Every structure is written in structure tokens, then in C-alpha cells.
Amino acid sequence: MTTLQSLRERASARGQSATRPAHTSAEEARRRRRITVTLGILAVLCLAGIIAYLTYDVRGSWDYAMDLRGRQVGSLVVVGAAVGASSLVFQTIAGSRILTPSVMGFDALYLLVQTIVVFFFGGTAFMMMGVGERFLLNTVVLTVFGLLLFRWLFGRNSRNLLVLVLVGIVIGSLFGSLTSLASRVLSPDDFLTLQDVMFASFNTVDGALLWVAAAVCAVGVVALVPLLRYLDVVDLGHDNAVALGAPYHRVVTLTLAVVTVLVAVSTALVGPMLFLGLIVANLARQIIPTHRHTELVLGSMLVGVLCTVGGQFVVGHLMDNGTTLSVVVNLVGGIYFILLLMRTVKL
């Protein structure tokens, strides 16, 4: 009797061990289906938002409306996708969900560049500059700044990402103080000219620049694709990533270089959006429960497009341009940042 009971227990144990992988595989399949459905829903919502933005309350000439709104939607899609992808991978590298590329001083440097141009050449000369020249100036300055910062911080033996974050905060504060100082000595007319570029604007985007920015951002996103499988391992931390054989420092350096280009182009195209990346990246991580960056980056890009298109639809069509999208994003993002910070402190 004891022998028979023992055999039954062994058979039962073997059955459990045999069914456990199948059970795990079934759960994994269901999770993958949920993620696929979620990404599909996000894509449908983005498409619906774009169509609604293009066709809502069109009055007068459809050709003129489609040309104007088409450029606006194009800029919203480019900025949303670029900020979504860059913010999510930057958070992975930094190992924190409350950090975005803006903390490195990109937005502050953008405002400082505009202030310096107005300060030395005047508001009239600034307005006489073509949009192409201003876009090129901002893109080059922001890209060079980011690359030099990364080379300085990651070219040494110590590559502590906390140092990167702290240096970014200090540089951002320095740029902000210089911008405030220079703007205080401007004439009233020059100051009003400067105020027009202090906030992100999607209303007057040059079509040629939009194509250039879209092409650069597309190349940047494509360049991220081969790095995503390594970022799955980098997300485990430096020691674990190195132990698993991942080229940690090379992946971090290349990823930050791509992030620099994406942030520089999107900021130069429409202006600063301080908390957009924080909102988009964290919403994507909550909506898509996975650590696979192939799905997370795609989801973050879709969430970014949905936030920019949907937010501009509300601001432009429903609120009749009573405010700007960047003001709403900064208000919501500031509150969201405080909540995330309080949650992190509790943890």
C-alpha cells in the first residue's frame, strides 16, 4: 500500500512538473495577446485622433484647412513619437522613472539660445531669420551640447549615471539663470518677441522643416531598434548586464547619442515640452505590463502621439486656442511628477 501511494505521489509530481511549463506558456501567450491588443487599441485611437483633428469643424476651403492641419498633425506625430521613444529608453539607462532628457538641460539651453540671439541682434533681426536658419541653429547647438556632455561624462573610467543627472540639473539651473538675467535687460519689444518662442507651438510649422525633422527622427528610431534587446538587459542594472555579457557602456553611449538627436530635433522644431516625456513614458509602462523594450518603445511612441494630438485637439478646437499645449502639459506633468516623487520616497 505504501509502495502504491508512493508511486501515485511520484506520478502526481511528474504530472505537475509536466503541466507547469504548459501553464506558464499559456499565461505568457495570454499576456502577449493582451499587449498586442493594447498596442492595437492605441494605434486605432491615434488614427481616430488624427482623423478627428483633420476633419473637425472645417469651415471654408478644405484645401487650405488640410494643408494647415496636415502640417500641424505632422509636427504633433513627430514630436510625440520622438519624445516617447527618447524618454522611455533614457529612463531605462538612468534607472529611474522620474527622469527624462529635459533634466539634462535641453529645454533650458533652447531658451538660452533664443535669448542670446535676441539679446545680441535684437528682436527684429531674430524675426528676420528664416525658420530654416533657426531650426538648424537650435538643432546643431542642442546636438553638440548633448554629445559633448556625454563624451565628457562617459569618456572617463567613472560612468556613474547619477553624476550625469546631477550635472544636468546644475547645467539646467545655470542656463535658466542666464536666460532670466539676459531677458531682464531686453527692451519691451524684444522681450515680447522672445515670449513668442518660450512655449511650444504647433500652429505655424514649416512644411520643409517638418519633412527634415521627420526623416531625422525616423532614422533615430531605426537606430534604436538593434539596441532594444540589449536595453532589456541594461534595465537589470550595470553589474547584472555585464555579467550576462551585454556591452553595457557601448549600448549606453549609443543610446544616449540617439536620444540627444531625437530630443534636439523635436525641441528645435516646436519648442520646449518639459514634462511631456515624463507623462508619456510612465503611462506607457503602466499600460503595457512588460519589460521588453521592443513593445515598450512602440507603446510609448503611440502614447506620445495620442497625448500630443489629443491634447492639441482639446486646446485648439475645443478651447479655441485659449492656451497652449505646453502650458497644459507642464501643469499636468508637474502634478504627476510630484505624485511620482512622493510614491518613490514612500517606496
DSSP string, 271-314: ---TTHHHHHHHHHHHHS----HHHHHHHHHHHHHHHHHHHHHI
Residues 46-98 pLDDT 10s: 999 999 988 887 877 888 888 888 888 999 999 999 999 999 998 888 777 87
Whether 220 is covered by a domain: the verdict is: yes
Residues 209-241 pLDDT 10s: 888 889 999 999 999 999 998 888 888 877 787
Task: Give me the residue label for grid cell 502526481.
Answer: 12
Whether 20 is covered by a domain: the verdict is: no
Residues 184-205 pLDDT 10s: 888 888 888 787 777 667 777 7
Whether 139 is covered by a domain: the verdict is: yes
Question: Percentage of the chain surpassing pLDDT 70?
Answer: 86
**Helix, coil or strand: residue 23:** helix
Asked whether the beta carbons of 84 and 284 are under 8 A apart, the reply is: yes
Give the residue numbers spanning the domain of 149: 63-346
- Asked if pLDDT for residue 133 goes beyond 90, the answer is no
132: domain CATH number? 1.10.3470.10
Whether 216 is covered by a domain: the verdict is: yes
- Residue 171: what pLDDT? 84
- Residue 18: what pLDDT? 40
Q: Phi, psi at residue 176, to the nearest 5°?
A: -65, -40
- Tell me the whole-structure pTM to 2 decimals: 0.82
Domain tally, the chain: 1
Provide the CB-side half-sphere exposure for 104 (13 A, CA). Answer: 27
Mean pLDDT estimate for the chain: 80
CB environment 179-196: b (16+ within 10 A), e (fewer):
beebbeebeeebeebbee
Whether 228 is covered by a domain: the verdict is: yes
Quote the Cα angle for 69-322-48, to 5°: 40
Asked whether the beta carbons of 331 and 266 are under 8 A apart, the reply is: no
- Asked if pLDDT for residue 7 goes beyond 60, the answer is no
DSSP annotation of 156: S
Bigger pLDDT: 55 vs 167:
55
CA distance linking residue 74 with residue 61, whole number of Å: 20
Could you tell me the three cell numbers for 282?
A: 510612465
- Residue 44: what pLDDT? 95
- Residue 27: what pLDDT? 81
- Asked if pLDDT for residue 131 goes beyond 80, the answer is no
Asked whether the beta carbons of 310 and 253 are under 8 A apart, the reply is: no
Burial of residue 122 (number of CB atoms within 10 Å: 0-12, 13-18, 19+): middle
Asked whether the beta carbons of 303 and 284 are under 8 A apart, the reply is: yes
Whether 41 is covered by a domain: the verdict is: no
- Residue 221: what pLDDT? 92
Whether 170 is covered by a domain: the verdict is: yes
User: Averaging pLDDT over each range in 119-123, 163-167, 188-192, 213-217, which range is the top one?
Assistant: 213-217
**Helix, coil or strand: residue 59:** coil
Question: Percentage of the chain surpassing pLDDT 90?
Answer: 16
Could you tell me the three cell numbers for 70?
A: 496636415
For the ranges 215-224, 246-255, 308-317, 321-330, the lowest mean pLDDT is seen at 321-330
Quick one: average pLDDT of 319-324?
72
CA distance linking residue 113 with residue 323, whole number of Å: 24
- Residue 237: what pLDDT? 76
- Residue 17: what pLDDT? 41
Quick one: average pLDDT of 168-189?
84
CA distance linking residue 210 with residue 192, whole number of Å: 26
Whether 14 is covered by a domain: the verdict is: no
Task: Give me the residue label for grid cell 515640452.
Answer: 273
Quick one: average pLDDT of 130-154?
78
- Residue 158: what pLDDT? 44
